[in-house]
Amino acid sequence: MRIREVFRFAFAGLRANKLRSALTTLGILIGVGAVILLVAVGKGSGAQVQANINKLGTNLLTVSRQAGGFGQRAARNTGTQSSVSALTTADAQALVDPTNAPDVLTSSPVVTASPTATFSGATHQIAQLVGTVPAYFSATNWDLAEGSLITDDDVTGARKVIVIGQTVATDLFGTTMDPVGQRLQINSVPYTVEGVLKAKGSTGLNDADDFAVAPLTTVQDSLTGFGSLNQIVVEAKSASATTAAQDEITSILSARHHLKATASPDFRVLNQQSLLATSDSTTHTFTVLLGAVAAISLVVGGIGITNIMLVTVTERTREIGIRKALGAPRAAILGQFLIEAVLLSLIGGALGVAAGLIGTRFTVAGVKPVIVPASIALAFAVSALIGLFFGSFPANRAAKLHPIQALRHE
Amino acid sequence: MGGTDGADGAGGPQPVIELGDVHKTYGMDGTAVHALRGVSLTVPTGDYVAIMGASGSGKSTMMNIVGCLDVPTSGRYLLDGIEVEHLSDRQLALVRNRKIGFVFQSFNLLPRTSALDNVELPLVYAGVGTAERRRRAKAALELVGLGERLSHKPNELSGGQQQRVAVARALVTAPSLILADEPTGNLDSTSSADVMALFDRLHRAGRTIVLITHEHDIAEHAERAIRLMDGRIVSDERNGARGWLTDRRSAGKHESAGKHESAAKHGSLT
Ligand SMILES: Nc1ncnc2c1ncn2[C@@H]1O[C@H](COP(=O)(O)OP(=O)(O)OP(=O)(O)O)[C@@H](O)[C@H]1O
Ligand SMILES: [Mg+2]
């Protein structure tokens, strides 16, 4: 008795009931496909969040004002917020300090506004106009598509120049006209377009390209006034230096703002790296949950195998009796039905892998799935084990049948 | 010789079947059915035995025990001198495969499986290689006159042809013992004659044959007739002896014996 023959009998058994075999296979197919696809979607959404954060710059720290416990109370008492929690250009400059802040590469003061831009009849409300210094571009990973960036001279001279994002460019100038060198109006003040930025795409809900940059001094002059900065954008020397840079910024600013050690600070330092870590663990949980749901459907598919194999064994009791009467040992019967079950689940598993891989080529709920090779191996192995596990009960039942009882079975 | 004691009739050194006070009871105390109530029987090698008796007298029960498909409730059963009771499941499978060829009243061929594959089946379980298996199965089917119908499925064959496939399957492993439970029970007289001619040839080739039948003219092919009644053997007669079924047939049988023997030598029975 060779194993090859047992395989032959198992294949013949599956072929004898093609539709039933196909439907049972479908259960496993869906389970395995779902595991691969959903894990890929989970991974894809994680990758997407990560990419969005990367777009903003991985070495990036942002310092913003915070009406914290002490600061808030102090602000209320004095009646002026700026005396306690203003972020100033001097603050920004103080952060570039090779001795006290060795991990800080650049520091850019930022003011923001959301003005209306017009160009020969076309009007566009810019979601974010940033007034800053040249270091800002590299810190936030903005690249130039054409023209030139803002220079230090532009800042010192408070020149009315502007660099615009793709959305602003197409809204005002259309797709055919070259915006560089054109003059547009920002809240009725004329600006010359110096350059156009490369597109970043949307980061979640916001359109990152609905964006423009002008010299800090110009924006303060004509739009925001010379109050507190909205942000200081700090670029650390490397992604791994961000935590050290965060500590350095905190101690420098605390000293400059004369904060007591116990007081909660009137500013907040946001670290992209820690944001990344948080988002990583969130998407990991998300992926595990998706995988678990898919795994349940895989188990349901396995129960389908048990079910169908029990029906098969009952239906073929007489056949089992005949085989036993002709001298089939228990192991041969066990093997035959076990192999049938495992073949069902393996075929289902293989088709499920194919279906899962095809599914991951599509965008699911706005997420581009990212295939996790381990999930393929795991889903396939689990489907084989499911065949073994869920098939062993019916197969064992078949093998244990008493020959004469099996033959008498109607 | 002969008479009621068949045990020392046709002499082999070792009897193929030896039943000693075999009982078989179905069910529990309250509703127990005593199918066999102490059957003792010895069948020597090469014997040709017909088992007769009314319906429900325990013939099939006895046959299933002899064929190792069922186990007695009590009593001894020796097959080729081996105590069957002590065999493991694996060894029993081996015994069923190598020593016994079983023919059933209801054919019991595998459905949706060609005649050739059906006949090959016991050889598969015997571990015979593909080519050898095919050759032997073909020879067996040719022997039963179905050389032209190798690839027919059971539902494409007549009852008589199906039973001949079943006989081919029973003899393909060259077992020492062929058991048949009403092999002609579902067949017309022509098909019955075909099947019985096969058994006669096998007998002449030296096989031990035990068959169950209700019909006298089928039993007459055998050399020995055993009657069961209510789970007991009530008579055990040998061909040509005083109480043999019909005297007129027994003379004719010996005339044609030589012819049959040469036919058997042509077939690859041994
Ligand atoms: N599995 C079983 N459970 C209970 N009783 C059974 C079983 N098999 C057989 N019997 C009983 O045992 C007795 C003998 O049955 P058996 O099949 O041996 O008869 P038989 O001589 O072959 O009859 P027939 O000529 O009709 O085939 C019968 O009374 C039958 O009802
Ligand atoms: Mg019977």
Structure confidence by residue, pLDDT tens digits, A6-17:
899 999 889 888
Question: Would you state the pLDDT for residue A323?
Answer: 94
A325·B127 Cβ contact <8 A:
no
Q: Could you read off the pLDDT of B140-178 as tens digits, one per residue? A: 999 888 999 999 999 999 988 999 999 999 999 999 899
Question: Would you state the pLDDT for residue B267?
Answer: 41
Q: Are A297 and A383 in contact, with CB atoms under 8 Å apart?
A: no
Give the tokens for residue B83. Answer: 């105590």
Question: Would you state the pLDDT for residue A81?
Answer: 43
From the CA of B57, give the closest atom in ligand 1. Answer: 21
Question: Would you state the pLDDT for residue B247?
Answer: 43
Q: Are B268 and B173 in contact, with CB atoms under 8 Å apart?
A: no
Integer CA distances (angstroms), B196 to A71, B181, B184, B205, B240, in order:
112, 13, 8, 14, 19
Q: How confident is the model at residue A140 (pLDDT cuts 50, 70, 90)?
A: confident
User: How far, in Å, is the centroid of ligand 2 from the Cα of B230?
Assistant: 13
User: How far, in Å, is the centroid of ligand 1 from the Cα of B56?
Assistant: 5
Q: How confident is the model at residue A46 (pLDDT cuts 50, 70, 90)?
A: confident
Q: Which of B39, B57, B73 to mutate to test the pocket of ligand 1 (most atoms within 8 A of CB)?
A: B57
* Nearest by CB: B89 against A323, A326, A330: A330
Give the tokens for residue B94. Answer: 């081996």
How far is the C-alpha of B108 from the C-alpha of B119, rounded, in Å?
12
Closest ligand (CA of B59): 1
Q: Name the nearest CA neighbour of B168 among B191, B193, B202.
A: B202
A325·B67 Cβ contact <8 A:
yes
Q: Assign B162 to helix, strand or coil.
A: helix
Q: Name the nearest CA neighbour of A61 among A288, A245, A303, A254.
A: A245
Q: How confident is the model at residue A276 (pLDDT cuts 50, 70, 90)?
A: confident
User: Cβ of A292 under 8 Å from any chain B Cβ?
Assistant: no
Question: Would you state the pLDDT for residue B169?
Answer: 96
For residue B197, is it within any domain? yes
For residue B17, is it within any domain? no
| Distant-in-sequence, close-in-space partners of B21: CB < 8 Å, separation ≥ 6 | B38, B39, B40, B74, B75, B76
Q: Name the nearest CA neighbour of A257 among A68, A78, A80, A87.
A: A87
Question: Would you say the CB of residue B45 lies under 6 angstroms from ligand 1?
Answer: no
CA distance B78 to chain A (A): 18
CA of residue B46 relative to chain centroid, distance: 12
For residue B106, is it within any domain? yes
For residue B78, is it within any domain? no
A325·B108 Cβ contact <8 A:
yes
Given a cut of 70, the residues of chain B with pLDDT beneath it are: 1-13, 240-270
Considering its fold, how many domains does chain B have in total? Answer: 1
- Cα-Cα-Cα-Cα dihedral of A250, A252, A254, A257, to 10°? -140
How far is the C-alpha of A306 from the C-alpha of A232, rounded, in Å?
64
User: Cβ of B67 under 8 Å from any chain A Cβ?
Assistant: yes
How far is the C-alpha of A357 from the C-alpha of B115, rounded, in Å?
44
Is a pLDDT exceeding 90 seen at residue A279?
A: no
Q: Are B152 and B115 in contact, with CB atoms under 8 Å apart?
A: yes
A327·B111 Cβ contact <8 A:
no
Q: How confident is the model at residue A82 (pLDDT cuts 50, 70, 90)?
A: very low
- Please give the residue of chain B at the shortest CA–CA distance from A333: B125
Q: Are A119 and A184 in contact, with CB atoms under 8 Å apart?
A: yes
B97·A326 Cβ contact <8 A:
yes
Question: Would you say the CB of residue B173 lies under 6 angstroms from ligand 1?
Answer: no
Q: How many CB atoms lie within 10 A of CB A28?
A: 32
How do beta strands B48-53 and B208-212 pair?
A: parallel
Give the tokens for residue A261. Answer: 């050690």
User: Cβ of B126 under 8 Å from any chain A Cβ?
Assistant: yes
HEC-encoded secondary structure of A204-264? CCEECCCEEEEEHHHHHHHHHCCCCCCEEEEEECCHHHHHHHHHHHHHHHHHHCCCCCCCC
A325·B121 Cβ contact <8 A:
no
Tell the residue nearest (CA) to atom 26 of ligand 1: B55
Q: Are A162 and A259 in contact, with CB atoms under 8 Å apart?
A: no
Q: How confident is the model at residue A1 (pLDDT cuts 50, 70, 90)?
A: low
Question: Would you state the pLDDT for residue B232?
Answer: 95
User: Cβ of A261 under 8 Å from any chain B Cβ?
Assistant: no
DSSP assignment of B183-197 equals TTTTS-HHHHHHHHH
Q: What interface predicted TM-score (ipTM) does this complex get?
A: 0.85
For residue B99, is it within any domain? yes
User: What sign for the dihedral angle of Cα A303, A307, A308, A313?
Assistant: positive
For residue B3, is it within any domain? no
| Distant-in-sequence, close-in-space partners of A127: CB < 8 Å, separation ≥ 6 | A114, A206, A207, A210, A211
Q: Name the nearest CA neighbour of A60 among A241, A267, A310.
A: A241
Q: Could you read off the pLDDT of A287-345 as tens digits, one per residue? A: 888 888 888 888 888 888 888 888 888 888 999 999 999 999 999 999 999 999 999 89
Question: Would you state the pLDDT for residue A328?
Answer: 93
- Please give the residue of chain B at the shortest CA–CA distance from A318: B108
Question: Would you say the CB of residue B31 lies under 6 angstroms from ligand 1?
Answer: no
How far is the C-alpha of B98 from the C-alpha of A332, rounded, in Å?
16
Residue with the two structure tokens 């099939």: B60
B109·A322 Cβ contact <8 A:
yes
Question: Would you say the CB of residue B270 lies under 6 angstroms from ligand 1?
Answer: no
CA distance A13 to chain B (A): 10
Is a pLDDT exceeding 50 seen at residue A76?
A: no
Q: Are A291 and A35 in contact, with CB atoms under 8 Å apart?
A: yes
Q: Could you read off the pLDDT of A155-194 as tens digits, one per residue? A: 888 899 999 999 999 888 888 888 888 899 888 889 999 9
Angle, helices B130-143 vs B115-126, to 10°: value is 130
Higher pLDDT: A76 or A177? It is A177
What CATH code is carried by the domain that includes residue B56? 3.40.50.300
Q: Assign A156 to helix, strand or coil.
A: helix
Q: Which residues make beta-bridge pairs with B82?
A: B79
Using a 10 angstrom Cβ sphere, with 0-12 exposed, 13-18 middle and 19 or more buried, the burial of residue A218 is buried
Element (H, E) at A317: helix A317-325
User: Cβ of B121 under 8 Å from any chain A Cβ?
Assistant: yes
Q: How confident is the model at residue A262 (pLDDT cuts 50, 70, 90)?
A: low
Higher pLDDT: B262 or A235? It is A235
Which residues in chain B have their CB less than 8 angstroms from residue A335's CB?
A: none
Tell the residue nearest (CA) to atom 28 of ligand 1: B56
φ, ψ dihedrals at B80, nearest 5°: 55, 35
Q: Assign A327 to helix, strand or coil.
A: coil
User: How far, in Å, is the centroid of ligand 1 from the Cα of B57?
Assistant: 7
Question: Would you state the pLDDT for residue B240?
Answer: 61
Q: Are A293 and A36 in contact, with CB atoms under 8 Å apart?
A: no
For residue B172, is it within any domain? yes
Which residues in chain A have their CB less than 8 angstroms from residue B127's CB?
A: 1-2
User: Cβ of A315 under 8 Å from any chain B Cβ?
Assistant: no
> Model pTM greater than 0.80?
no
Using a 10 angstrom Cβ sphere, with 0-12 exposed, 13-18 middle and 19 or more buried, the burial of residue A255 is exposed
A327·B96 Cβ contact <8 A:
yes
* Window A:42-81, CB contacts with B under 8 Å: none
How far is the C-alpha of A3 from the C-alpha of A9, rounded, in Å?
10
Tell the residue nearest (CA) to atom 4 of ligand 1: B26
How far is the C-alpha of B113 from the C-alpha of A15, rounded, in Å?
12
Is a pLDDT exceeding 50 seen at residue A202?
A: yes
For residue B242, is it within any domain? yes
* DSSP 8-state assignment for residue B156: G
A8-22 burial by CB neighbour count: b if 16+ within 10 A, else e? ebbeebbebbeeebe
B96·A332 Cβ contact <8 A:
no
Q: Assign B119 to helix, strand or coil.
A: helix
Q: Tally DSSP H helices, then E strands, for chain A.
A: 15, 14
* Range scoring the smallest mean pLDDT among A122-131, A134-143, B11-20: B11-20
Q: Which residues make beta-bridge pairs with A146?
A: A196
CA of residue A62 relative to chain centroid, distance: 21
The mean of the pLDDT values for chain A is 84
How far is the C-alpha of B198 from the C-alpha of B144, rounded, in Å?
7
Q: Which of B22, B24, B39, B60 to mutate to test the pocket of ligand 1 (most atoms within 8 A of CB)?
A: B60
Tell the residue nearest (CA) to atom 14 of ligand 1: B58
Q: Name the nearest CA neighbour of B41 among B73, B13, B65.
A: B65
A1·B90 Cβ contact <8 A:
no
Which residues in chain B have their CB less than 8 angstroms from residue A323's CB?
A: 110, 121, 125
Integer CA distances (angstroms), B167 to A22, B97, B197, B200, in order:
37, 14, 11, 12
From the CA of B62, give the closest atom in ligand 1. Answer: 18
Q: Which of B22, B39, B59 to mutate to test the pocket of ligand 1 (most atoms within 8 A of CB)?
A: B59
Question: Would you state the pLDDT for residue B84?
Answer: 92
How far is the C-alpha of B194 from the C-alpha of B57, rounded, in Å?
28
Domain extent at residue B238? 45-69+89-256
B110·A322 Cβ contact <8 A:
yes
Tell the residue nearest (CA) to atom 2 of ligand 1: B26
What is the average pLDDT across A238-254? 85
Angle, helices A373-400 vs A18-56, to 10°: value is 160
Is a pLDDT exceeding 70 seen at residue A154?
A: yes
